[in-house]
Amino acid sequence: MRGIVYTGEDVEVTDQLSLGNPGPTEVRVAVGAAGVCHSDLSVINGTIPWKAPSVLGHEGAGVVEAVGSEVRSVKVGDHVVIATLASCGTCRACSTGHPTWCIKTLGNVSQPFTYKGEPASNFAATSVFAESTIVKEVQAVKISEEVPMTSACLIGCGVLTGVGAVLNRARVQAGETSAVFGVGGVGLNVIQGLRLAGASRIIAVDTLASKEGLARQFGATHFVDASTTDAVAAIRELVPPGPARVTGALGWTGGVNWSFDCVGHPAVLRNALDVLDWGGNALAIGIPPQGTEVAVDVNSLAYVDRGLLGCRYGSSRPHHDIPLMVELYLSGRLMLDELVTERRPLEGFREIVEDMEAGKLARGVLTF
Ligand X SMILES: NC(=O)c1ccc[n+]([C@@H]2O[C@H](COP(=O)([O-])OP(=O)(O)OC[C@H]3O[C@@H](n4cnc5c(N)ncnc54)[C@H](O)[C@@H]3O)[C@@H](O)[C@H]2O)c1
Cα angle value 27/32/33 (rounded, 5°): 120
State which residue, 311 or 336, has the beta carbon closest to ligand X.
Answer: 311
Four-point Cα dihedral 74, 60, 29, 21, nearest 10: -120
Residue 226: phi and psi, rounded to 5, are -75, -5
195 contributes a contact to ligand X by CB under 6 A: no
Q: Which does 211 bind (CB under 5 to 8 A by kind): Zn ion, ligand X, none?
A: ligand X
Q: Which does 181 bind (CB under 5 to 8 A by kind): Zn ion, ligand X, none?
A: ligand X
Q: How many helices (H) and strands (E) does the chain have?
A: 11, 19
Euclidean distance between the first and the last CA atom of the chain, given in angstroms as a whole number: 11
102 contributes a contact to ligand X by CB under 6 A: no
State which residue, 135 or 263, has the beta carbon closest to ligand X.
Answer: 263
Q: Which of 61, 94, 180, 186 binds ligand X (CB under 6 A)?
A: 186
Residues 285-344 interacting with ligand X (rule: CB under 6 A): 285-287, 311-313
State which residue, 71 or 334, has the beta carbon closest to ligand X.
Answer: 334
Q: Which of 39, 132, 177, 316 binds ligand X (CB under 6 A)?
A: 39
Q: Which does 82 bind (CB under 5 to 8 A by kind): ligand X, Zn ion, none?
A: none
Residue 21: phi and psi, rounded to 5, are -95, 155
Q: Which does 169 bind (CB under 5 to 8 A by kind): Zn ion, ligand X, none?
A: none
Residues 203-262 interacting with ligand X (rule: CB under 6 A): 205-208, 211, 226, 262
- From CA 43, how far away is CA 53, in angstroms rounded? 12
State which residue, 14 or 100, has the beta carbon closest to ligand X.
Answer: 100
The answer for residues whose C-beta is within 8 angstroms of residue 95's C-beta and 6 or more apart is none
Residues 138-157 interacting with ligand X (rule: CB under 6 A): 157
- From CA 241, how far away is CA 253, in angstroms rounded? 11
Q: Which does 268 bind (CB under 5 to 8 A by kind): Zn ion, ligand X, none?
A: ligand X
Q: Which does 218 bind (CB under 5 to 8 A by kind): Zn ion, ligand X, none?
A: none
Q: Which does 254 bind (CB under 5 to 8 A by kind): ligand X, Zn ion, none?
A: none
163 close to 314: Cβ distance less than 8 angstroms: yes
**Which helix H or strand E contains 164, and what residues bound it?**
helix 160-164
Looking at 88-96, 118-126, 200-208, 293-301, which segment touches ligand X (CB under 6 A)?
Answer: 200-208
What length does the chain have?
368
- From CA 148, how far away is CA 61, in angstroms rounded? 9
Other beta carbons less than 10 A from residue 248's beta carbon? 11
State which residue, 102 or 149, has the beta carbon closest to Zn ion.
Answer: 102
Shortest Å, Cβ 248 to ligand X: 26
State which residue, 71 or 231, has the beta carbon closest to ligand X.
Answer: 231
Other beta carbons less than 10 A from residue 57's beta carbon? 30
42 contributes a contact to ligand X by CB under 6 A: yes
265 contributes a contact to ligand X by CB under 6 A: yes
271 close to 231: Cβ distance less than 8 angstroms: yes
Which one, of 253, 212, 250, lies nearest residue 229 by Cα?
212
State which residue, 30 or 294, has the beta carbon closest to ligand X.
Answer: 294
The answer for residues whose C-beta is within 8 angstroms of residue 298's C-beta and 6 or more apart is none
54 contributes a contact to ligand X by CB under 6 A: no
| Helix/strand/coil for 235 | helix
Shortest Å, Cβ 296 to Zn ion: 26
264 contributes a contact to ligand X by CB under 6 A: yes
Q: Are strands 177-181 and 201-206 parallel, antiparallel or unpaired?
A: parallel
State which residue, 60 or 264, has the beta carbon closest to ligand X.
Answer: 264
State which residue, 127 or 161, has the beta carbon closest to ligand X.
Answer: 161
Name residue 367's amino acid.
T
DSSP state letters, 214-247: HHHHHT-SEEEETTTS-HHHHHHHHSS--SSPPP
270 contributes a contact to ligand X by CB under 6 A: no
Give me the residues that bind ligand X (CB under 6 A), please. Answer: 37-39, 42, 157, 161, 181-187, 205-208, 211, 226, 262-265, 268, 285-287, 311-313, 356, 359
